[in-house]
Amino acid sequence: MRYNALQILKQGLTGHKGWKPAWRKAEPKPEYDIIIVGGGGHGLATAYYLAKQFEQKRIAVVEKGWIGGGNVGRNTTIIRSNYMLHENEGFYEFSLKLWENQEQDFNYNSMVSQRGIINLFHSDPQRDAYVRRGNAMALNGADPVLLDQDALRKKCPFLNFDNARFPIQGGLWQPRGGTVRHDAVAWGYARGADKRGVDIIENCEVTGFLIDQGVCSGVETTRGTIKAKKIGVAVAGSSSRVMAMAGMRLPMESHVLQAFVSEGLKPVIPGVITYGAGHFYVSQSDKGGLVFGGDIDGYNSYAQRGNLPVVEDVCEGGVSLMPMIGKARVLRMWGGIMDMSMDGSPIIDKTHVNGLYFNGGWCYGGFKATPASGYCFAQLIATDAPHETAKAMRMDRFSRGLMIDEKGQGAQPNLH
Amino acid sequence: MIIHHPLLGPRDSAEFIYLGDASLMERPDPKAENAQELFYKYLYLRDNPAGEHKELWYHEQGDRSWLILTRNTVTHEITHVELARRSK
Ligand SMILES: Cc1cc2nc3c(=O)[nH]c(=O)nc-3n(C[C@H](O)[C@H](O)[C@H](O)COP(=O)(O)OP(=O)(O)OC[C@H]3O[C@@H](n4cnc5c(N)ncnc54)[C@H](O)[C@@H]3O)c2cc1C
């Protein structure tokens, strides 16, 4: 069933009795051509593009819980392509272009809203760094705009411009950045994949790989053995655990990141704003809630909940940046487990095991990557050749000294 | 989280800075034949277990000692704390 205005009218007139589930509850078959492990945004997008773009058949997505219950349903929904390094920026700009056409492409309202993102700067050197970043963005076809203080005051008069310690001088604005309804991304890709015959198998945890003489020929799951010619793993925060079952150690740590939503308020925040001198970023949802977050808790964690010191830190950052939110009450908060790679950049690559492919290391920025990650991973699995924009996201880059380290900070599992 | 410091008793974890897996104490031998390979593994690869994890915490806002905690990364339960310098 295609979703469109006429359909809504028709269903409205017939008591909404004709809507069908958006995807089937598939049972595992004994064998597929391709299995994707992990029904998050990246796994579902991979299956969707495999079926649609690369015309692959007999595909299954195997998810241990329910689809959309992982980070794809836990993030703060920001999309942007404002990276500096060429190896990242081309990829994220490709992703932003896919976002711009996503709803039409998969015929689902994912509420892609290009309300813009502003990264604030508070000193001359920070401004210069943003100018440099803006230039790097422009080289990859993105849309940087440098806002001086006057221009920024017009957009965001409520900011604490004259903060004695961190005065706000301006910001790097990307008008095409914004937010997307995160659950709808999972559901839209699931529906589009299902329509093209992909089996989405929920409540099915992968517990092992069938590997013999360097060739992977399937997975063991809580619902039995499933064979496949090719297996792609996209399990985000569980990457180390899952790949350990294939005998691999990854350049990664798992950490918890928290997010917060306030009570609904009148529209006040025009887009996404990130603090350049503290760990705080914020946007306002269409329902009016302030959606905000900050830094990871800072120690290895597989608990999908955070601790109080970071809550305090995030709220301090928020209030020092925009004192007016001090009276807003927090409604909800939660945490998600992130796959923090050692250079802050992701991996989309084959492994040394034939037939086994890996996608992970998304740190806290993998939501915006969802369409491109799915597309590039699908291309890699279907053709065994990397996508042009994902060529540098190799697994062996750490041993070869080819890290993609945006800030030049060295081996640190706490980068964005 | 409360960390039971062997010398100072119960302390708030916010006084500490986290470094990572306690195996970082065992620095590879830079003169080894395969030093490059060893340092790659040392710097970048991690076990990253879900469950018991031995890890280094630095008491920055306290006595500046390094501690080795045995903590469960799923429940945050801390079952053992010792001074790093005593661990050898
Ligand atoms: C609080 C928070 C805020 C964030 N904010 C942003 C943001 O504003 N912008 C942005 O770009 N990114 C953001 N991120 C990061 C982003 O959400 C993630 O990088 C991205 O969602 C990860 O990819 P995914 O959607 O495939 O992950 P997930 O949705 O976590 O998918 C992985 C799936 O694998 C499944 N799985 C795990 N193990 C197994 C197994 N053994 N067998 C079968 N299935 C398994 C899991 O159940 C899960 O459903 C944020 C993350 C968090 C937690």
Q: What angle do CA B71, A361, A108 make, to 5 degrees?
A: 120
The yes-or-no verdict on residue B51 having pLDDT over 80 is: yes
Phi and psi at residue A47, in whole multiples of 5°? -60, -40
How far apart are the CA of B88 and the nearest CA of chain A, in angstroms? 23
B67 pLDDT band (50/70/90 cuts)? Answer: very high
At A373, which helix (H) or strand (E)?
helix A370-383
Phi and psi at residue A371, in whole multiples of 5°? -65, -45
Residues β-bridged to residue A338: A255
Name every residue whose Cβ is closer than 8 Å to that of residue A23 and which is 6 or more positions away in sequence: A187, A190, A191, A193, A194, A200
- The number of C-alpha atoms within 13 Å of A400 and in the hemisphere containing its C-beta is 8
**Can you give the pTM of this predicted structure?**
0.97
Q: Are strands B2-5 and A356-360 parallel, antiparallel or unpaired?
A: unpaired
B88 pLDDT band (50/70/90 cuts)? Answer: low
Q: How many CB atoms lie within 10 A of CB A132?
A: 11
Chain A residue whose CA is closest to B56: A299
- Rounded to whole angstroms, how far apart are CA atoms B39 and B32? 10
Give the SS3 label for residue A79. strand
At residue A61, the pLDDT reads: 98
A300–B76 CB contact, under 8 Å = no
A250–B46 CB contact, under 8 Å = yes
Chain B residue whose CA is closest to A399: B40
At residue A25, the pLDDT reads: 95
CATH architecture assignment, domain B2-83: 2-Layer Sandwich (3.30)
Q: How far is the CA of A122 from the centre of ligand 1 (A)?
A: 32
**Would you say the CB of residue A40 lies under 6 angstroms from ligand 1?**
yes
- Rounded to whole angstroms, how far apart are CA atoms A75 and A365? 9
How far apart are the CA of A125 and the nearest CA of chain B, in angstroms? 28
**Reported ipTM:** 0.96
Residues of chain A with pLDDT under 70: 416
**Would you say the CB of residue A255 lies under 6 angstroms from ligand 1?**
no
Q: How far apart are the first and last CA of chain A?
A: 39
Closest residue by Cα to residue A24 from A265, A199, A260, A282: A199
Name every residue whose Cβ is closer than 8 Å to that of residue A87 and which is 6 or more positions away in sequence: A345, A392, A393, A404
Closest residue by Cα to residue A62 from A43, A49, A41: A43
At residue A416, the pLDDT reads: 65
- List CB contacts (< 8 A) between A299 and chain B: 18, 55, 71
- Rounded to whole angstroms, how far apart are CA atoms B11 and A150? 47
Tens digit of each residue's pLDDT (9 = 90 or more) over A222-245: 999 999 999 999 999 999 999 999
How far apart are the CA of B43 and the nearest CA of chain A, in angstroms? 7
Q: Name the E strands within A11-159.
A: 31-37, 59-62, 78-79, 117-121, 145-148
**Would you say the CB of residue A45 lies under 6 angstroms from ligand 1?**
no
- A–B interface: beta-carbon pairs under 8 A: 64
Tell me how far CA of residue B9 lies from CA of A137, A263, B60, B62, in angstroms.
Answer: 51, 40, 15, 11
Interface residues of B toward A, Cβ cutoff 8 Å, are 1, 12-14, 18, 20-21, 37, 40-41, 43-50, 53, 55, 71, 73-76
- Rounded to whole angstroms, how far apart are CA atoms A28 and A203? 11
